[in-house]
Amino acid sequence: MDYTKFFAENAARRKPSWIGRLRMYSTIPNILWLAGGLPNPSRFPFSEAKVTLRDGTVINISPKTMAAALQYGSKEGNVQLLNYMSGLTQRLHAPPCWPQTKQLITMGQDGLAKAFVMLVDPGDYVLSALNPRYISVEEDEEGMLPDDLRSTLAQLKLESLIKQHEFRPKLMYVNPSSNSPSGKRMNEQRRREIYAIACEYDLLILEDDRCYFLNFKDDLPPSFLSLDTEGRVIRFDTFSDVVNTGELTECITGPKPLLDCILHHVQATVLGGIGLPQALFAELFRVWGLDGFLRHVKEVRQLYCSRRDATLLAAEKHLTGLCEWNVPDGGMFLWLKVPGIKDTRALSSECSSANNLLLVPGNGFTSNPELPCQYLKACYSSASPEQMDKAFGILADLIREEMQRNKCLQAQA
């Protein structure tokens, strides 16, 4: 596939730096490195470290590992960690295009942000913060509807033919597993239908699956990456929610030409991987192995599932008749609709200002956050069942007060 047709103008101009190209040779034994500014590790203040896991296991970061972790590293990320990510990805997703696939490790959502910069010019048809033209597609609780997606794209293509201008949607952003904010997951048949439409209209798919490991059902859902026979998917996995939020490790998997372009951007911004967190994560995988990591994931899922169930009990107790909700398939959020209130922004402000309760109004999850929205997002991952019960009791009182206030205003009008 010719991926250059998807590149934004900025990405097409970006070239890899010479230092970045040469850094791959810095670990060759006995090489005489005169190519760039690698600090002398003998003056790094940190020498070694020991980290104790919750079960008492001690992970040792040796002086050699520490020195390598504190140095400018490979732009792709920690080599040992990449090996573990390769094994995990092949085990969970078995990507059909694996020989043409590349992986890299970044932090937070840096890789996702760089993917949008790589692909999006102002005015492009896509949903992002880069001033695109929005394509609105109907959805239900499991995400976008394939029939509406197809008919919307067909209509836009027809309009472009009539007006004789280029119709060039580039990509589709999906959050398919335990998505934020609804907590619902897209079933396999719908994923296959959406992937087929992406092939038909020559679209790339950005699969942002941060809650993949927080799925409450017994089976982990099939990913778009596992269905990708044409090299159209860039997948973003994060381990922040199941290992350590402060570590913020993100693994990107996708076609080599696209990830090479993202790497060119990495060289110009963060320079390379954040060494110490990646080295620590690699040591954790060395101790646990893939099976140990997946056992840990199962324990995290069980904890969050129990918190979800307690949250649902509190919602039934306090919010029945005031709010509507679906049972989340995973994740850490309950998505609440408040039919009696037109816009929850005022309600959210009232919660935080006078009642020591914080919830997120739903406007921020819509394509036009300035419009009224009847939804609230409640996070149940860290609140205890007792705290959630108290919070929903407060919320119920505030909803009733807001509804009564609105009724009085309507009567006065």
pLDDT beyond 60 at 142: yes
State CA 309 to chain mean position distance: 24
**Across the chain, what does the average pLDDT equal?**
84
pLDDT value of position 134: 64
Range of the domain at 342: 338-412
Please check whether residues 156 and 282 belong to one and the same domain: yes
Q: What is the DSSP letter of 159?
A: H
Contact indicator for 249, 278 with CB cutoff of 8 Å: yes
Q: Rounded to whole angstroms, how far apart are CA atoms 76 and 266?
A: 9
Counting every residue, how long is the chain? 413
pLDDT value of position 1: 86
Quick: pLDDT tens for 308-356. Answer: 999 999 999 999 999 999 999 898 899 999 999 988 888 877 676 667 8
Flag whether 364 is in a domain.
yes
The residue-averaged pLDDT of 102-106 equals 91
Flag whether 306 is in a domain.
no
pLDDT beyond 90 at 94: yes
pLDDT beyond 80 at 29: no
Please check whether residues 213 and 254 belong to one and the same domain: yes
pLDDT value of position 195: 96
Q: Tokens for 351?
A: 């919660």
pLDDT value of position 247: 59
Last residue of some domain: 294, 325, 349? 294
Count of CB atoms within 10 A of residue 50's CB? 8
The residue-averaged pLDDT of 262-270 equals 77
Q: Which residues contact 318 (CB under 8 A, 6 or more apart)?
A: 389, 392, 393, 395, 396
The residue-averaged pLDDT of 113-124 equals 82
At residue 123's C-alpha, the angle toward residues 232 and 250, to 5°, is 45
Please check whether residues 85 and 168 belong to one and the same domain: yes
pLDDT value of position 130: 46
pLDDT beyond 60 at 364: yes
Residue found under tokens 């047709």: 5
Please check whether residues 267 and 227 belong to one and the same domain: yes
Please check whether residues 352 and 374 belong to one and the same domain: yes
pLDDT beyond 50 at 129: no
CA nearest to 375, candidates 338, 401, 334, 345: 338
pTM equals: 0.86
CA nearest to 213, candidates 147, 269, 280, 294: 294
Please check whether residues 256 and 385 belong to one and the same domain: no
The residue-averaged pLDDT of 171-192 equals 86
Please check whether residues 129 and 196 belong to one and the same domain: yes
The most confident of 138-142, 208-212, 239-243, 275-279, by mean pLDDT: 208-212
pLDDT value of position 42: 72
In the chain, the number of structural domains is 3
Higher pLDDT, residue 387 or 406:
387
pLDDT beyond 50 at 380: yes
Flag whether 60 is in a domain.
yes
Flag whether 308 is in a domain.
no
